[in-house]
Structure formats: structure tokens, C-alpha cells
Chain A
Amino acid sequence: MKKALAIMLTAAMGCGMLSGCSGGGSTGGGAVQQTTQAAQAAGDSGSSSGETSAAPAVDASMYEVTEPITIQWWHSIEDQNAQTVEDVVSAFNSSQDLITVEAVYVGSYGQVNEALVAAHAAGTGLPAVTVANTPYVAEYGAGGLTEDLTPYIQATGFDIDDFGKGLIDASSYEGKQVALPFLISTQVIYYNKDIADELGVTVPEKWDDMESFLEKVSVVNNGTVERYGTVVPGWDQWYFETFYLNKGVNIINDDRISTDLDSDAAVELVYQFKDWCDKGYMYWANGTDASSIMRQNFIDKKTFSVMHTSSLYNNYVDKCDFEVGMAWLPGGETKDQEIGGCVLLIPSKNDQATKNAAWQFLSYLCSKEVNMTWAKETGYIPTRNSVLQTEEGVKFLEEKPAFQCIFDNLDLINPRIQHPGWNQLATIWKNYMAEIMIEDVDIPSKIEDMVEEINEVLEDS
């Protein structure tokens, strides 16, 4: 007894001291760590991305990396693509001598957001480069969290015009280029092509044809659903927000302080969704495990189709023992869609040396070669016009014919709605939608409550 106590005490004290030391030593985050190795000649630093070349107008020397530096890159690329992350980062590290990049998996986009904002508020522990989900660009731009990349682009002659206009808009705030597009996806419907061929149906292009389509593909026997027509991911409003936009609903009105989600068109949509959910045509996926449940149901053929992000294409194809089809979402008056995925940005509170190194890595990640690596191995979309409109694009489509639907509609992929209160709005909206779809509630009064709450958030942001 006495011995045990003595051991525990000693161990505890020893460890306590240890922890003190290591705690002080590694202040974490994007702190710049100078390595003791001899500095490389400054001139070598520009060769990393293959796109940097001398540029006019801006003094390029201001943005050069002259000292060895270790920087952190925060990302949310999940486990199944860990190998690609490692390959891409180590290729960068070995391509030049000054910058060492550490890739850190932080968690989901939401968790990256939480960590980044917290670090920004503290002014310490910031990463040199981080991913950010597309809707956060406005919040970050408005809060001054991001570095304006325009001078870097000018100084290094980065070929920004090779991105489509939609992508450029999606990563800028009030005309400033505060980020660059990285892993870009859009909403699609994945469907079971084997069943579709058997039934002789195709995913409709028009919203008005949705009802008859769902009726054909779902199997409902005496009230028990054997196969759903489709699944809507209710955990993220991104998946259903295009249906509103294509019906002409302004999710945020031009006055920026109110929403149109109680307009006739919006309410009609809600009733339509509800009707289909009640009939067993549609399943509203909600809850902590909803994403994996939804995917598992598709794999097990318990649903004909699911609405999801194009980035998971390879994933679905690998796991399903039937042919997976991919289709553009049915449109209304328009058939626009929105950019999903993430952009890359440099937090503004980093020091200049870190920012310069960060920019080199960032421009490498956004380069055509790296982008094509992601496009081939996942379902993210090629972002470069020089790919999309050339032979390369044709070759890509030969490998992944399902992406034809995206290539056909590239011009229709629009930036997200940008508002500092967007995140709060989205939470309220998807909560009410899930409640309406899953529970038996008085729909008009719920919509009224929801709109009141959203308006209050918009005014206050």
C-alpha cells in the first residue's frame, strides 16, 4: 500500500514536470520553427510550383522564401485519401530545400472552422495554410481572418485566369482574392444503373418530372418501404438548397437582412418533400450517423439513388457491386448548382516569412498537376480550363465517363451564397427541415418560426 502510493506519487510528479517542459516547448499551431541546417541559396526557392516565374509590377523579392522553415497545413481529407495527402506533401517537400510542410488532419470542415476561428481570435497556433469549406469564405473575409492573395499572385505570376469564373468568385470576398479553389465538387445524384436499365428510367432533368420518376423507382408494399426512390442528406442544407434556388427563391434577400424561405415557391417545395417522405419515395437522412447509414443503404440497394457530393464518386464505385450512375440534379426554372468542397487560404495573422512559404505550398496545391491527382483518385472536379477544354479533359472523361454530366454543365456551377451569418442560418434551416420531414408537425407555423429566427440572425450578423 505504502509502496504503491509512493510509486504513484513519484510517477505523477515526474510526469508532471515532463509535461511542463514539453508543453512549453511546442506551442503548436503554425509557429515557425527555424531549423539549424545551413540556409540554401535564396534563388532556389522559386522553383517549387512550376508556375512561379518573374512577374511585373510587384516587387517579387518581398514574397521570396529565404530561410529554411517548417509550416503546417490543416486539412479535412479523410482517412481513405491519407496516402494521396502523404504523396502530395512529400513530393513538395523533396522538390525544394527550404520549406518543410506538416500535414495535420483536423477533422470535418466544421471542426477546421472551429479550430481556425479560435486560433485567429487568440492570434497564436495558426496554420500557415488551411482548407476552408466554401461557405465560410465570406465570414472569414469579413472578419479579416484571411490574407489577400492578390499581391502574391501578381508577384509570382500565378496563372489565376486558368480557373473558371465561378471558382474565382467563390474564393473571393468583396473583390479581394482571399482564397484559391482546391478540392471542388458539386451536388449530384448517384443512382443504381443496373436497376435504372432494368426499369428503363433515367434521372429526370426537370423537377416537375420528379414525382413520376420517384413513383417508378421506389418500391412500397402496404406502407412498408422496400426501396426508397432517393435519399436527401438532411444534415447539410447544401444538398437541398439548389432546389430552392432553381425555383427562384432568395435564401437571403437583396436587403441582406431577411429570407424568402416563406415565399409560396419555398413553401410548395416543403410540401412536396413532405409528401414524398410520407409516401416512402424519399428518405430524409438526419442525425449523427446519417452519412454512413445513407451510404450503406445505397450499397445494400435499399434505396435507388442518393443525393451526395461528387467528391465521393470513387468511393461509391469501389463499394458497390452494381454499376453506379451519376446525374445532375433535376432543375426548375434554372438548373444551376453550387460549388462544394474547399478552398485554400492563408490566415492573416501569420508573419511574412510563414506567409511566403505558405504561398509557395498553396500555389503548388492549386497547380494543375496536383489538381489532376485529386481528380483521378477521388471525385473532385478538375478546376483548370486548360484541362477541361482540351485533350486532357477528353482523356479524363474516358477514364470516368460518369463525369460527363458535370462537364456538360460546368458553367452552371455557381459560388455559394456569401453572408457572415450564413452558418447560423444553415443550422436553423436544416434543423427545422428535418423536424418537418420526420415528425408530424404543423408545417405553416414551423416555417413561420424558422423564418423569424433566420431573419433575426441575419439582422444581427
Chain B
Amino acid sequence: MEQNTFLKPRTISAIKDFICVLPALVFLGIFTYYPICKLIQISFTDWNLLNDTWNYVGLKNWIWLFNGSGTKHLLNSLKVTVLYSIGELTITLLGGLAFALIFGRLNKTFSIMRAIVFMPKYVAMSSAAVVFLWILNTDTGILNYLLNCVGLPSVDWLGNRNTALLSVLMLTGWRAIGYGMMIYLSAMIGISKDYYEAASLDGATAVQSFFKITLPMLSPTTLFLFVTTFISSMKVFQSVDILTSGGPYRATEVFVYTIYKYAMEDFRMDRASVVAIAFFVLLLVVTASTFKISNSSVHYDS
């Protein structure tokens, strides 16, 4: 009896419960939160991976980034990343919705076709990228061959600054569009038939009921797709790395690629860190603002 005054059964139970979550907390502490602090520390040093020693240099890297030769590249990365995100959002949202309308028939043939359209999501990006690398090749790619067949000139898809980002988007869009379709479709199936029956009794056309019923009812889904696609598209790396390596002349150099290049190719840990922090802040702002939109402007049905 007296032994238990120090540790009550409730306390023991609480400790045991805490032990269940402890590994997760420790790991997240080491591999997520600590690195952020470390990143901030590195951003005030002149650390080059080639050198064994480093010194604190105050705000030098920050000045380089916001008021030096780094600014130009920061703005470039920002522009490229935002353009890319807009592209991927358009493909996933508009393309996904259009596909959902095309493939919305519930029979065996369509379910097979749906599976095919959705499958690219599961094709590893690097496999897909090497195929697209060849399809888009200026001289031996089949896309240019087809263009030539209909009398159009060849396009240097990956080598031209105007088409390089578009080419990357073709690849990611190919993988994303079926996913958008599936998400929209499963939401559409959930919309009660009563709404449509009532509308058709009122004499509404299919187009009218699409805009008056389907679209508003899909707004939570749209928002979900918007938020997740936006945030994940900001972090794009692999398709850019394999298709263009950020080129031509930085025309596809998205944020993550810029950080990667400073850190792993130039070994400038100092510069990579300031860019990484800037990117982190941008991500936070984007996440926060999308959540703000979500709380104010979505039509939730029950």
C-alpha cells in the first residue's frame, strides 16, 4: 500500500502510454526539429564541405541571398516553382475534373479504362522520366516524329527555355491527372441523386446542373486536391533532376533543385542553408494561407 503512494496505478499507466509515443517523439526531434535549428546555425557560417573548418560570418549569406548575386537566382527559383505549381494544379484540378466527366460511366469497359488512366501514379517517377526523356528527344523522340508527320517542325522540348518546364509538366501531369480523376469520381458518386432529380424536374439542363450542383458539391474535394497538390508540387525535384537537371540555363531550376545544387554539387552548405530556410518560410506561408482559404470559402454538405 505504502509503496504505491509514490507511483499510483494511474501514473504508471500514463507513463506506459507515454512510452508508446516516445519513439516517435524522439525520432521527430532528431530528424525533423533538430535539423531546422542546425540549418539556421549553418546559415550564419561560411561552411564549405571541402574545408575541415568553418567560421561564423554573421549575416553574410543572408545579404548574399537578399541583396547580392543570390537574389537573382532566388527570384528565378521562386518564379519557376510557382509556374510549375500553377501548371500542376491546372492539370490535376481541371484535367482531373474533365477526365472524371469523360470516364464517369459505371460499366466494366470504363472501369478498365479508369484503371489504366490511374495507373501512371504507380509508375516510379524515374521509370516514367527515362521514357519521357526519349519520347521528348529532339532527334529521336517519337513526339517530334509525329509532329513532323503532320507537317510541324521539330521542337527542342527539353533544350528550349520556353518548353522545358512544359515538358516537365507533361511528365508530372501524366502521373497526376488520373489521380485527380479518381478523387473527383469518388466524390461525385457520393453526391445524392435527389439533387439531380429535383433539378431535372425544374427543367435544368445537364450543363446547368453541373454548374449549379456538381461543382459546388465538389468544393471540399477541390480544396483538398488544391492544398495537397500545391504543397507537394512546391517540393518537386525528381522529374526536374532526371529530365533537365534544372536547365536549360536555370529555366527549370525549382527551389529544391537549387538547394540540392548548392549543397551537393557546389558543397556550399552555407548558401544552401539560407535558400533552404527561405524555402521553408515560403512553404509555411503557402500552407497557412491555403488553410485560411479552406476555412472561409468552401461549401460543406452535411
Contacts and interface: CB of A to CB of B under 8 A. Distances in A.
A296 B250 CA distance: 26
B265 A114 contact: yes
Nearest to A143: B50
B158 A434 contact: no
A94 B35 CA distance: 48
Contacts of B72: 449
Interface string A120-155: 110000000000000000011011110000000000
B247 interface: yes
B107 to A, nearest CB: 26
A388 B92 CA distance: 64
A423 B267 CA distance: 10
Contact of A114 (B139, B140, B248, B264): B264
Interface in A287-330: 287-289, 293, 296-297
A112 to B, nearest CB: 12
Chain A facing B: main interface SS? helix
B248 A286 contact: yes
A427 interface: yes
Nearest to A122: B49
Contact of B250 (A114, A139, A140, A431): A431
A278 interface: no
A452 B71 CA distance: 13
A325 B244 CA distance: 33
Contacts of B243: 288
Contact of B265 (A110, A120, A288): A110
Contact of B248 (A297, A427, A434): A434
B248 A289 contact: no
A117 B69 contact: no
A286 B50 contact: no
Contacts of A118: 49, 264
Contacts of A139: 50
Interface in B159-209: 159-161
B58 interface: no
A145 B106 CA distance: 65
A144 B151 CA distance: 59
Which of B50, B133, B160, B265 has the largest count of A CB atoms less than 10 A from its CB? B50
B138 interface: yes
A297 B133 contact: no
Contacts of B161: 435, 439
Interface of A: 110, 114, 117-118, 120-121, 139-140, 142-145, 286-289, 293, 296-297, 420, 423-424, 427, 431-432, 434-435, 438-439, 449, 452-453, 456, 461
13 contacts: A142-B50, A143-B48, A287-B247, A287-B248, A288-B242, A289-B133, A289-B158, A293-B137, A427-B265, A431-B247, A434-B248, A435-B248, A438-B248
6 closest residue pairs by CB, A with B: A143-B50, A435-B249, A287-B159, A121-B49, A431-B249, A456-B69
